[in-house]
Amino acid sequence: MAGKKEAERNNAWLKMDEKQLQEAYDLSEGYLQFLNKVKTEREAVEFITQTAAESGFINIDSVEKLRPGDKAFLKVKSKVCALLVMGEDSLERGMNIVASHIDSPRLDLKPKPVYEADGLAMFKTHYYGGIKKYQWLAMPLALHGIVVKKDGQVINVCIGEGQNDCVFTITDLLPHLAKDQMEKKLADAVKGEDLNVLIGSRPLREAESDPVKQHIMEILHEKYNIKQDDFASAELEIVPAYSAREVGFDRSMIGAYGQDDRVCAYTSLKAALEVEKPKRTALCLFADKEEIGSCGNTGLHSLMIENIMAELLYKVGQSDYYTLRKTLASSCALSADVNAAVDPTYPDVFEKMNCSFLSSGVVLTKYTGSRGKVDSNDANPEFLGRIRKLFDDNQIVWQVGELGKVDIGGGGTVAKYMAYYGMEVVDCGVAVLGMHSPFEVVSKADIYMAYKGYKAFLQLF
């Protein structure tokens, strides 16, 4: 149990003084509010860019020339954003980048979602990202997202968050009739096509067919101007309807939906807001689509980073191809993403000398991947040496983390898509219990250490 003893020695709570403890609790207050306002990538972009604007960051679209010390934000398709603090050095000497993701596992509505069966109106869903399907049953659910009309009008939807809002749910089979279901493997007990959301039960008196569905469509039309065909051009996400909460008698933890990876998004946002006149340019990136492989034009497995760099270089008057390549290759990055904290109920999947523990500080994950590091960025030790020194010099409690035992499973992050350009990159984030569940748990001490780590890194030179 060497790992356990080491974790006790390395406990971030025990290493903080009174002032830091206060800062940690204050940070978590803001974080709770953020989690309750933000449950989708679009809501995250709104929150982050608004907060940045209030702190003096200007929209890059309104900037003609970028100068040292300038602070700007940019948006990509309302689903990705970035904060930028221009450094004294020329861009080709590289930037310090912290990249988190603001999408989380959830249930998306299908393009034709509404149907009626046995007197009930339902939504068909298609899950997004890696979920354990049974975890999404029998709890209050909210609907967030947008519907785009044919004329381009955008209808914002957020139902289930207000005290008096209605909520939705996916019903579970009663134990009395679940004999066959209970004998199935956990993975087969609830299928993707079983994740149907209950949305109504009262029929429309004058309807000829599907009267309950017709009633729901009438309500959607009257209240939101949404017709059945409009779901074809919509992005509607089913997420847990409950709020983020403090967990434990000691209130030392936060439990909430979507902390992978909004815990890193929030802490890197707070860090970026406090960067002033850095030597190297600081860039805080909030990406989409990580949970489904960083694909699409808002994921990092695209030319997005390159396009952002090209725009910055254009705005400092250095838009040649060589400088673009050089800027990318000489940059340093933290892939700000969560790791799995050791769960005492499931010790068998962790190798405790190399796993992360709750409250043991921000986690440096040298490599991810699975079964022989396959598909992983494996960070260079020269870079890791610099990060270790940076964290130690700034009293940042940190730990190493491997994602579970060799051969057990694995995962990936955006790190490899940044490494592609030649930049140095390592995964660095918060340890989470119950990752990808609808109620993930993190430690307030780790939130604080992540914030401090990102802030120090953004000012690295």
Site for Mn ion, rule CB under 5 A: 260-261, 337
Q: Which residue is nearest to Mn ion (CB)?
A: 261
Please report how close the Cβ of residue 85 comes to Mn ion at its closest, in angstroms.
Answer: 24
Please report how close the Cβ of residue 140 comes to Mn ion at its closest, in angstroms.
Answer: 23
Read off the amino acid at residue 225.
N
3-state secondary structure of 68: coil
Nearer to Mn ion, 214 or 259 (CB): 259
Helices (H), 259-337: 259-273, 304-315, 321-329
Nearer to Mn ion, 360 or 368 (CB): 368
Please report how close the Cβ of residue 455 comes to Mn ion at its closest, in angstroms.
Answer: 20
Q: Which residue in the block uniquely carries the two structure tokens 């396009």?
A: 307
Nearer to Mn ion, 281 or 302 (CB): 302
Please report how close the Cβ of residue 429 comes to Mn ion at its closest, in angstroms.
Answer: 8
Q: How far apart are alpha carbons 332 and 96 in whole angstroms?
A: 5
Cis, peptide link before residue 261, omega less than 30° from 0: yes
In sequence order, what are the beta bridge partners of 411?
Answer: 369
Please report how close the Cβ of residue 426 comes to Mn ion at its closest, in angstroms.
Answer: 15
Count of C-beta atoms within a 10 Å radius of residue 236: 21
Please report how close the Cβ of residue 126 comes to Mn ion at its closest, in angstroms.
Answer: 17
3-state secondary structure of 104: coil
Nearer to Mn ion, 97 or 324 (CB): 97
Nearer to Mn ion, 230 or 337 (CB): 337
Nearer to Mn ion, 101 or 444 (CB): 101
Please report how close the Cβ of residue 212 comes to Mn ion at its closest, in angstroms.
Answer: 36
| Secondary structure element (H or E) that encloses residue 56, with its range | none
Nearer to Mn ion, 101 or 215 (CB): 101
Please report how close the Cβ of residue 286 comes to Mn ion at its closest, in angstroms.
Answer: 12
Nearer to Mn ion, 74 or 415 (CB): 415
Nearer to Mn ion, 337 or 424 (CB): 337
Q: How far apart are alpha carbons 393 and 398 in whole angstroms?
A: 12
| Secondary structure element (H or E) that encloses residue 254, with its range | strand 253-256
Candidates 268, 331, 323; CA nearest to 31 is 268
Strands 154-159 and 369-370, by their bridges, are: unpaired
Taking a C-beta distance cutoff of 8 angstroms, is the pair 291, 104 a contact? yes
Instruction: Kindly state the tokens that stand for 291.
Output: 């949970």
Instruction: Kindly state the tokens that stand for 429.
Output: 């984030």
Terminus-to-terminus CA distance in the chain, angstroms? 38
Nearer to Mn ion, 99 or 114 (CB): 99
Nearer to Mn ion, 308 or 338 (CB): 338
> How many CA atoms are closer than 13 Å to the CA of 268, on its beta-carbon side?
35
Taking a C-beta distance cutoff of 8 angstroms, is the pair 259, 44 a contact? no
Q: Which residue in the block uniquely carries the two structure tokens 């919509």?
A: 234
DSSP 8-state class, residue 204: P
Question: What φ, ψ does residue 116 adopt, rounded to 5°?
Answer: -125, 135
Please report how close the Cβ of residue 337 comes to Mn ion at its closest, in angstroms.
Answer: 4
Nearer to Mn ion, 316 or 431 (CB): 431
Beta-sheet strand order (sheet of 58-59): 58-59, 71-76, 80-85, 281-287, 95-101, 332-335, 424-429, 362-365, 398-400
Please report how close the Cβ of residue 290 comes to Mn ion at its closest, in angstroms.
Answer: 6
Q: How far apart are alpha carbons 376 and 411 in whole angstroms?
A: 8
In 3-state terms the chain splits into helix, strand, coil percentages (rounded to 5) of 35, 25, 40
Please report how close the Cβ of residue 441 comes to Mn ion at its closest, in angstroms.
Answer: 15
Please report how close the Cβ of residue 294 comes to Mn ion at its closest, in angstroms.
Answer: 10
Q: Which residue in the block uniquely carries the two structure tokens 């709570």?
A: 13
